Amino acid sequence: MTAPVTVTQNTRIGWIGTGVMGLSMCGHLLSAGHPAVVFNRTRAKAEPLMARGAVWVESPRAVAEAADVVFTIVGYPADVRRVYLQPDGVLAGLAPGKIAVDMTTTSPSLSAEIAAAAERLGTYALDAPVSGGDVGAKNAALSIMAGGDAAAFAAVRPLFERMGRIIAHQGPAGAGQHTKMCNQIVIAGTMIGVCESLLYAVRAGLDPQAMLGSITKGAAGCWTLDNLAPRILKGDYAPGFMIDHFVKDMGIALEEAGRMGLTLPGLALVRELYESAARKGHGRDGTQALYLALKELAA
């Protein structure tokens, strides 16, 4: 097996997926001086990076052929499978020793499948989903949880450090995704608590801002209260992370739990509520739009 590439200032990075998260994350690597090649299904979404010097190519395979380390952050497991395993995908263009890093939240079993396919080719594939939302991406303050080959992780770590503050190798291929499932399970329970707290405050005649000022620094304090509760009070439901994607994540967690013989009734309930919100037209809103669906139920 060829040793993984050594990351230097001149390491060319490839980036596939320039949405809410990917645009900022790739931007930090450009700011660090790394030359970059990019691809996205909608070219217009990559134009801000191209304006900063990134080079557009026409397929995931072309990204892999031109780059030393390829990062992907797309939408759904089917997108990950297509980006990596199709004839014009990343693995078809990745030379021995090069590294692909999937930062999408996807199925742990799919991550393990991709890593095994990469290993057969003499290349490396890490799963490295993130937490921190659009704010974390913009501020290079993400939590990055990685699975896969330890040497490949060590090689890529300097690039991770340009995007995140908490960076950890969790174990073999798929371990990063399993860790992200733990993260999403916590967020699911937290989000319903935050939304119901705000509904209660309004019904009780409290000033919600004053209420938040009291509880955010106590035992209830959390990222969701700090970052998403203020957006709810402003009526800002723009997506830092879309409900449709969160429903996908909860489905993966429940599927994996089922494989392990584990029942998660709280997560199942929150997914039902989010699915209701999506049916009401909020699928492309931020996860904080759960407040609107719960508000209807409380009316």
Residues labelled catalytic: 180
Contact 104, 73 (CB under 8 A): yes
What CA–CA distance (Å, rounded) separates 174 from 195? 32
Contact 167, 144 (CB under 8 A): yes
Q: What residue type is assigned to position 285 of the chain?
A: D
